[in-house]
A and B are shown apart, each in its own frame.
Chain A
Amino acid sequence: MSQKRSELLLVVEDDARISNFLSYALAQEGFPVLTSDTAQGALSLLVSQPVDLMLLDLGLPDADGMDVIKRVREWSELPIIVVSARDQDREKAAALDAGADDYLTKPFSATELMARIRVAIRHLYRESSGRHQAVAEVGGLKIDLDRRLVFLEDAEVHLTPMEYSLLAVLFQNIGKVLTTGALIRELYGPGYGNDTQALRTLMAGLRRKVEANPAKPRYILTEIGVGYRLVDE
């Protein structure tokens, strides 16, 4: 058993086996865990308990998980990781756009899950500390948000303003999947529609500057059919 953690996790899952396995795996990592097998139960636990992170199955008996995400987002920025057997890209993107922080398709490995939880918790602290991070880095890739500079292995990389904006958005959401829709809204403003080709061209350009092999990226991963993620570890 690893060290005790203080973050309270809520597992919302109607399948008893998955729920058991998740609780056990999380307890192994030292997290205190609450479980609920209904949306209603989950919502009442969220109000009564100081939950720090929620793992949410989309197929619940009493409500669609999507509605749970939307309702929680009305009053809370609580990190939500969706764990679902639905693997349609459309649904992943919809859950992320509705406010979920991450999405795991069943089956997934426990290692993968733990990695995502760690990312979400780090985010939680980063955001709650409220401290503006001037410099962020992952591996050999570093961004200086105040001076608008990017370094790769300590050598400055020259990016176009759009490429810089894209990388900055990814750094601000490090470890999280950003849907193509969300990125387009962020970079080109609302009303640009859903023309992903401009974004993909921009991404290909950016990868040619920060990745050693753009077809085997190390920093900016593609979540196919959903969006992009800047790795966090």
Chain B
Amino acid sequence: MKKTGLNGGDIFRSVLVLMLFLSAATGVGLVFRSIGFNVVNVVIVYILSVLLTARFTRGYAYGIVASLAATVTFNFFFTEPHYSLSVNDPSNFITFAVMTVTAVITSALTSKVKQSASMAQEKEAETIALFRLTNRLTDAGSLEDIADIASNAVSELLGCNARLLRSDGNGKQQDSSLPQNDVRGLLPPETDGEKKKSRSLKQSPREPADGCHEMPVRSRDALHGVLCIPKNVRMNDSQTRLIHSMMESTAMAMDRLRSVQDRIKATEAATQERYRGNLLRAISHDLRTPLASIMGMAEMLANMPPEDDPRHSLAEDIYKETNWLHSLVQNILNLTRLRDGAMNLSRQMVPVEEVVGGAVNHVGRLTGREIIVEAPDEVLFAPMDAGLIEQVLVNLLDNAVKHTPPWEEIRISVRRDDEKRFARILVSDRGSGILTEDLPNIFQMFYTASARRSDASRGMGLGLTICAAIVEAHGGTIQARNRADGHGAEFEFTLPLEEKHEPETK
């Protein structure tokens, strides 16, 4: 680790290095002189010694001192008169000046190179530390792992005990370096108004008095936690920068993990929903085949004995009951289809009169009842899943047929509302009407009218619920009320005539 400032040991070592190189240069120079080499060579040797001094000491100062010392020593040993600082030949001053300048520049350059090298090394170390962290974060399988890895990395870097307090989805923070059950006692649950940053960490046993530097672990749209570094640890700028970068990586890793977890959760939920839907569909589907044979056989049985034979009406009842079961199955099927998502409705522009005609034909064929139909001359196109809207109409008409005596009329009428935004479809009967206490709940799931008649109690609970669900999925509304013009009930629903552009809610 790098230390800033000079201390005694450092100065002593540097001076020793300086002396050593200078003496070595002087020694080599004396040898050169005895051999009879030119004095100029000695100058080069001195410059070399300055260079080496700069290389092995820290900062510019020693290099400059070494330059001056080298010049003085050279003057002392190698210029006439030897072993004296006086100079005979004035031209030697030029040698001194050039030598000093060269030595100073050389030492400065060397120091500079050294500094850049050490900076590069530092940078490299940072990069490696970040790279390692990122690598380990990639392998992390949970938010706890990520917090552990990040706090360990910071602790290693600073040689202290750093901790990462995670804020989970609920805004509660969890201490990565403490076992989960300890945390509860240490960190009071956050109250709504309290800012996360302001949370006091004083209670933590590891940092009793000091508290700590806090550094948020934050991504663009979420605060994932707070990094807590003990107050007594000193950090320089580059370390602070590095830790910032590390926390950025950590936040990104947490983001990634969270989004992966969210996606997995969503997929699981969707899969479950699909399983449930498939199960219901399979059941309904498997119910249909036996229902088909029962209905078919009952129908044939009913046609065998003469009509006044009790067996005729018994067989007919079997047929009716099975038919009721069939419509229940049909409704469950449509409900699961609807639950698969309102987005999946296969909507097409269909004239309202077509579905009305289809539903009236269907109910008329099955029940033999005459239904009065009123529709405007204008063709009202509405975006709809025609099969589902037909189901709504069939349910409402079935309901009307069930509650209306054969000699009374059932009427269905279509009109456009005054603002031309909705088609309004009204199914009215002349039955016994709806009890006032049933009106508010009549469209609720499995609500069955308060048992007036045993027949009614089994009645339309699910059927009306599905009507409401289908109509709402189309952006319309449905209402039930008693007729103002006498006895009987009426159900009215609306269908928007335009595609809705606002986002669909499931």
Size bracket, chain A contacts: 35 or more
User: Could you say which of A67-75, A143-151, A207-215 contacts chain B?
Assistant: A207-215
Interface membership of B401, Cβ < 8 A:
no
With both beta carbons as reference points, the residue of chain A lying nearest to B353 in the complex is identified as: A215
4 tightest Cβ-Cβ pairs between the two chains A and B: A215-B375, A107-B292, A106-B292, A215-B353
B36 to chain A, nearest CB (A): 106
Residues of A within 8 A of B355 (CB): 222, 224
Interface membership of A44, Cβ < 8 A:
no
**Could you name 19 residue pairs across A and B whose Cβ atoms are closer than 8 Å?**
A15-B293, A20-B293, A21-B293, A25-B300, A85-B289, A87-B333, A107-B291, A107-B294, A107-B296, A108-B292, A200-B351, A201-B379, A215-B414, A216-B371, A217-B357, A221-B358, A222-B357, A224-B354, A224-B358
- Taken together as a complex, chains A and B put the C-alpha atoms of A24 and B294 apart, in Å, by 13
Which residues of B363-408 have CB atoms within 8 Å of chain A's CB atoms?
365-366, 371, 373-375, 377, 379, 381, 386-387, 390
- Taken together as a complex, chains A and B put the C-alpha atoms of A224 and B355 apart, in Å, by 7
Report yes or no: B414 in contact with A107, Cβ–Cβ below 8 A: no
- Tell whether A106 pairs with B289 under 8 Å between CB atoms, given A21-B297, A200-B349, A215-B353: yes
Report yes or no: B358 in contact with A216, Cβ–Cβ below 8 A: no
With both beta carbons as reference points, the residue of chain A lying nearest to B319 in the complex is identified as: A109
Cβ contacts B277-313/A at 8 Å (1 or 0 each):
0000000010011111111110110000000000000
B contact set with A: CB distance below 8 Å? 285, 288-297, 299-300, 322-323, 326, 330, 333, 346, 348-351, 353-361, 365-366, 371, 373-375, 377, 379, 381, 386-387, 390, 414
Interface membership of A204, Cβ < 8 A:
yes
A201 to chain B, nearest CB (A): 7
Report yes or no: B326 in contact with A107, Cβ–Cβ below 8 A: yes
Interface membership of A172, Cβ < 8 A:
no
Contacts A196-B348, A221-B361 supplied; 16 other A-B pairs, CB < 8 Å: A21-B296, A24-B300, A28-B300, A87-B330, A106-B292, A107-B288, A107-B291, A107-B326, A108-B295, A200-B349, A200-B350, A215-B375, A215-B414, A216-B360, A224-B354, A224-B355
State which of A20, A107, A222 has its C-beta within 8 Å of the C-beta of B354: A222
Residues of B within 8 A of A197 (CB): 348-349, 381
- Taken together as a complex, chains A and B put the C-alpha atoms of A122 and B291 apart, in Å, by 30
- Taken together as a complex, chains A and B put the C-alpha atoms of A182 and B371 apart, in Å, by 31
- Tell whether A111 pairs with B351 under 8 Å between CB atoms, given A85-B292, A106-B292, A204-B379: no
With both beta carbons as reference points, the residue of chain A lying nearest to B379 in the complex is identified as: A204
- Tell whether A223 pairs with B358 under 8 Å between CB atoms, given A15-B293, A21-B297, A89-B387: yes
- Taken together as a complex, chains A and B put the C-alpha atoms of A196 and B371 apart, in Å, by 28
State which of B289, B360, B366, B386 has its C-beta within 8 Å of the C-beta of A15: B289
Report yes or no: B358 in contact with A214, Cβ–Cβ below 8 A: no
- Taken together as a complex, chains A and B put the C-alpha atoms of A219 and B152 apart, in Å, by 82
B82 to chain A, nearest CB (A): 110
Report yes or no: B375 in contact with A107, Cβ–Cβ below 8 A: no
Report yes or no: A200 in contact with B375, Cβ–Cβ below 8 A: no
Residues of A within 8 A of B386 (CB): 89, 224-225
Residues of B within 8 A of A201 (CB): 351, 379, 381
Cβ contacts A86-104/B at 8 Å (1 or 0 each):
1101100000000000000
Residue of B285, B289, B297 contacting most chain A CB atoms (<10 Å): B289
Cβ contacts A1-32/B at 8 Å (1 or 0 each):
00000000000000101101110110010000
B140 to chain A, nearest CB (A): 46
State which of B300, B322, B353, B360 has its C-beta within 8 Å of the C-beta of A107: B322
Report yes or no: A204 in contact with B292, Cβ–Cβ below 8 A: no
Interface membership of A110, Cβ < 8 A:
yes
State which of B291, B349, B350, B354 has its C-beta within 8 Å of the C-beta of A106: B291
With both beta carbons as reference points, the residue of chain A lying nearest to B294 in the complex is identified as: A107
B38 to chain A, nearest CB (A): 100
With both beta carbons as reference points, the residue of chain B lying nearest to A28 in the complex is identified as: B300
- Taken together as a complex, chains A and B put the C-alpha atoms of A21 and B366 apart, in Å, by 20
Report yes or no: B387 in contact with A225, Cβ–Cβ below 8 A: yes
With both beta carbons as reference points, the residue of chain B lying nearest to A180 in the complex is identified as: B348
- Tell whether A204 pairs with B291 under 8 Å between CB atoms, given A224-B386, A224-B390: no
With both beta carbons as reference points, the residue of chain A lying nearest to B326 in the complex is identified as: A107
With both beta carbons as reference points, the residue of chain B lying nearest to A57 in the complex is identified as: B289
- Taken together as a complex, chains A and B put the C-alpha atoms of A123 and B344 apart, in Å, by 38
Report yes or no: B292 in contact with A18, Cβ–Cβ below 8 A: yes
- Tell whether A224 pairs with B292 under 8 Å between CB atoms, given A197-B381, A215-B356: no
- Tell whether A109 pairs with B295 under 8 Å between CB atoms, given A204-B351, A214-B353, A214-B375: yes
Report yes or no: B373 in contact with A213, Cβ–Cβ below 8 A: yes
Report yes or no: A215 in contact with B357, Cβ–Cβ below 8 A: yes
Residues of B within 8 A of A200 (CB): 349-351, 354, 381
- Tell whether A110 pairs with B288 under 8 Å between CB atoms, given A17-B293, A200-B350, A224-B354: no
State which of A18, A213, A221, A224 has its C-beta within 8 Å of the C-beta of B375: A213
B91 to chain A, nearest CB (A): 103
Report yes or no: B299 in contact with A110, Cβ–Cβ below 8 A: yes
Report yes or no: B358 in contact with A222, Cβ–Cβ below 8 A: yes
A94 to chain B, nearest CB (A): 14
With both beta carbons as reference points, the residue of chain A lying nearest to B375 in the complex is identified as: A215
- Taken together as a complex, chains A and B put the C-alpha atoms of A200 and B355 apart, in Å, by 12
- Tell whether A25 pairs with B296 under 8 Å between CB atoms, given A106-B289, A215-B375, A225-B386: yes
Residues of A within 8 A of B291 (CB): 106-107
- Tell whether A85 pairs with B285 under 8 Å between CB atoms, given A24-B300, A215-B373, A216-B360: yes
B368 to chain A, nearest CB (A): 11
Residues of A within 8 A of B346 (CB): 89-90
Which residues of A25-65 have CB atoms within 8 Å of chain B's CB atoms?
25, 28
Residues of A within 8 A of B294 (CB): 107
With both beta carbons as reference points, the residue of chain B lying nearest to A108 in the complex is identified as: B292
Residues of B within 8 A of A22 (CB): 296
Report yes or no: B296 in contact with A110, Cβ–Cβ below 8 A: yes
Residues of B within 8 A of A87 (CB): 330, 333
Residues of A within 8 A of B300 (CB): 21, 24-25, 28, 110
- Taken together as a complex, chains A and B put the C-alpha atoms of A192 and B491 apart, in Å, by 40
A88 to chain B, nearest CB (A): 8
- Taken together as a complex, chains A and B put the C-alpha atoms of A85 and B75 apart, in Å, by 114
Residues of B within 8 A of A204 (CB): 351, 353-354, 379
- Taken together as a complex, chains A and B put the C-alpha atoms of A204 and B365 apart, in Å, by 22
Residues of B within 8 A of A25 (CB): 296, 300
Report yes or no: B387 in contact with A224, Cβ–Cβ below 8 A: yes
A190 to chain B, nearest CB (A): 20
Residues of B within 8 A of A108 (CB): 292, 295-296
Residues of A within 8 A of B366 (CB): 109
Residues of B within 8 A of A223 (CB): 358
Report yes or no: B288 in contact with A85, Cβ–Cβ below 8 A: yes
